[in-house]
Amino acid sequence: QVEVKESGGGSAQYGGSLELSCGASVNIGNTGCMAWFRQVPGKEREGVARIVMGTGSAVYLDSVQGRFSIFRAVTGSAVRLVLKNLRSEDTAMYYCAVAPQGCPRGTVGRSFDYEYWGQGTQVTVSS
């Protein structure tokens, strides 16, 4: 069983920045994939960004492209998500997800593409 734990998040002003961190309890290897999803009540969980742990190849949701950046740790299975130029619509619960078998090709993917999940961390953007 892989444990996934997020940290960071909180509140920010419109146009501000936040940073989220996530670590997995085991090394998922160079072919593994880690991602961030977000969800608001009543809506489906949507993929925000994902990264291939070995290559650093990243894919983003269109609406966050150029504002959010995902980084992987040099060693171990950990990622950061840097959120800049925050908008009200970025308010959501953010979840870290792990896919040891690899990333979906060319997309962040859907929830069912990821096997392990964190408990989530809230991001709230106020105007």
**Total length of the chain:** 127
The Cα–Cα gap between 56 and 69 comes to 11
122 vs 54: CA distance, rounded Å = 28
Distance between CA atoms of residues 39 and 93, nearest Å: 5
pLDDT at 97: 98
Please name which of 53, 40, 31 lies closest in space to residue 93, comparing C-alpha atoms.
40
pLDDT in single tens digits along all 127 residues of the chain: 899 999 999 999 999 999 999 999 998 988 999 999 999 999 999 999 999 999 999 999 999 999 999 999 988 899 999 999 999 999 999 999 999 999 999 999 999 999 999 999 999 999 8
Q: Name, in order, each residue with C-beta under 8 angstroms of 64's C-beta and a sequence gap of 6 or more.
A: 48, 49, 83, 90
Contacts for 52-55: CB closer than 8 Å, 24+ residues apart: 52/102, 52/103, 53/28, 53/29, 53/77, 54/29, 54/30, 55/30
Q: Which two tokens stand for residue 98?
A: 């792990």
Q: What is the pLDDT of residue 71?
A: 97
